[in-house]
Amino acid sequence: MKKKKIIIFGSTGSIGKNTLKIINQDFDNFEIILLTSNKNINLLFRQATKYKVKNLIITNHKKYLIAKKRFGKKFNIYCDFKNLDKIIYTKVDYIMSAITGLAGLEPTLNSIPLTRKIAIANKESIICGWNLIKKKLLKYNTKFIPVDSEHFSLYSLIDTLKIDNIENAILTASGGPFLNLPLSKFSSISKHKAINHPNWKMGNKISIDSATMMNKVFEIIEAQRIFNIKLNKLSILVHPKSYVHAIVKFKNGLIKTLIHETSMTIPIFNSIYDNGTKNFKTKKIDLKSLNNLDFKEVDIKRYPITDVLKEFSNKVTLFDTIVVAANDELVNQFLNNNIKFIQINKLLKKIIKLPEFLKYKRKIPMNIVEIINLNDYVRLKTKRLSVLS
């Protein structure tokens, strides 16, 4: 049987490692063409050695120079994604795009012509550049599968049904580590407590977004972009057990839910083997969770950042980049102990309402340069305002 050719962008992150974990179970049927990382070159080289990968991209220039000196004779090492067409001569079967932040947008766009199927686990790329991604997907007839558990759930529930048949769709949120914390204690939330997610093992940035619930705001916007469901049909329910990932009510009266255990390996596995021919061993159905699903409405006092949803429209604009960039920088400032947890929401709302940014609500991104330049400017502006706060 012909081996499936695979590429993993961000192989040293949690999504990348889980993707390799799945491939490892059936490695004889795969050939990994390329792995990439930003800084974690030691893990990258261990991965490349184990899976016999010749091509590596290391985007941090300092780490790239170190790697080139140490391992340049053993591997083909590149410092950016401009050489993708030199690495990939014929279309590969699958690309996992799991680079965090807007740094993942350019590799995603550049790789779409080079693969038959792309799985994207990058919120920022979809929110800020979905119109650019969609255009390329259609042009090169590349299949797209979302990998976030909520969007993979929607993807599975909707399947071939028409979007017009959907009455409303719900994404669930765990509530993060502060679901039951008294509001009076929010002013003293520490970085250590904020990154300690009760259900999922995630990186620091997304853990903070989960604690504020900004991640769910982004996921609602992603769902609108990917599935073209109007924002007034999308909502959030708090579900502390994280067992149900999405609920869809159809106009014919049917309500469908998708449930799986709290492991990203399940949507990743199903994005690789999306024809249903491969079995994946998981835990037994959790009857205790099923008997106590415990859904709650979102408490706006506890998660005031969810109010930002009102600022988005049903089409991609450059304003989306402003929200993403400002939030990214504010989370960064919190992780560096420069602002308090409660300031993330307050400063975000202040920044996105600045008169100079409101005009971008009417501007559709025409290319990636516009998005990157605006992202850089907003992050710099946000950093300066954070210092003054």
Span 83-135, pLDDT tens digits: 788 888 889 999 999 998 899 999 999 999 999 999 999 899 999 999 999 99
State the DSSP code for 80: S
* pLDDT at residue 134 in the model: 97
Kindly state the greatest CA–CA separation across the chain: 63
**Within the chain, which residue ranges are assigned CATH 3.40.50.720?**
4-146
| CA gap 155, 91 in Å, rounded | 24
| CA gap 37, 98 in Å, rounded | 10
Of 13-27, 60-74, 149-163, minimum mean pLDDT range: 149-163
For the segment 141-145, the average pLDDT, to the nearest whole number, is 96
| CA gap 65, 178 in Å, rounded | 42
- Helix-strand-coil percent breakdown of the chain, rounded to 5? 50, 15, 35
Q: Which two tokens stand for residue 297?
A: 């409405």
Q: How confident is the model at residue 168 (pLDDT cuts 50, 70, 90)?
A: very high
**Within the chain, which residue ranges are assigned CATH 1.10.1740.10?**
317-389
Average of per-residue pLDDT values in the chain: 93
* pLDDT at residue 274 in the model: 83
- Compute the CA torsion angle 61, 339, 199, 118 (nearest 10 deg): -40
CATH architecture for segment(s) 317-389: Orthogonal Bundle (1.10)
Q: Whose CA is closest to 41, among 22, 23, 60?
A: 60
Query: Is residue 91 within 8 Å of 116, Cβ to Cβ?
Result: yes
* pLDDT at residue 262 in the model: 87
* pLDDT at residue 287 in the model: 94
Quickly count helices (H) and strands (E) in the chain. 16, 11
* pLDDT at residue 164 in the model: 86
Predicted TM-score of the model (pTM): 0.93
Query: Is residue 7 within 8 Å of 92, Cβ to Cβ?
Result: yes
Of 1-5, 208-212, 218-222, 362-366, minimum mean pLDDT range: 1-5
Q: How confident is the model at residue 1 (pLDDT cuts 50, 70, 90)?
A: low
Q: Residue 246 in 3-state DSSP?
A: strand
For the segment 138-148, the average pLDDT, to the nearest whole number, is 95
The dotted CATH code for 4-146 is: 3.40.50.720
Distances (CA, A) of 320 to 107, 308, 310, 312, 365: 20, 11, 12, 7, 10
| Residue 311 confidence (pLDDT) above 70 | yes
For the segment 218-244, the average pLDDT, to the nearest whole number, is 95
Q: Which amino acid is at 281?
A: K
Q: Which residues contact 86 (CB under 8 A, 6 or more apart)?
A: none
| CA gap 323, 302 in Å, rounded | 20
| Residue 277 confidence (pLDDT) above 80 | no
Considering the chain, what percentage of its residues have pLDDT values greater than 70? 98
| Residue 160 confidence (pLDDT) above 70 | no
Angle of helix 368-388 versus helix 318-335 axis, rounded to 10: 40
Q: Which residues contact 122 (CB under 8 A, 6 or more apart)?
A: 97, 98, 99, 100, 101, 104, 105, 108
Please compute Rg for the chain using Cα positions: 21
Over the stretch 342-360, which tens digit does the pLDDT of each residue have?
999 999 999 999 999 999 9
Q: How confident is the model at residue 65 (pLDDT cuts 50, 70, 90)?
A: very high
Q: Which two tokens stand for residue 255?
A: 């309500």
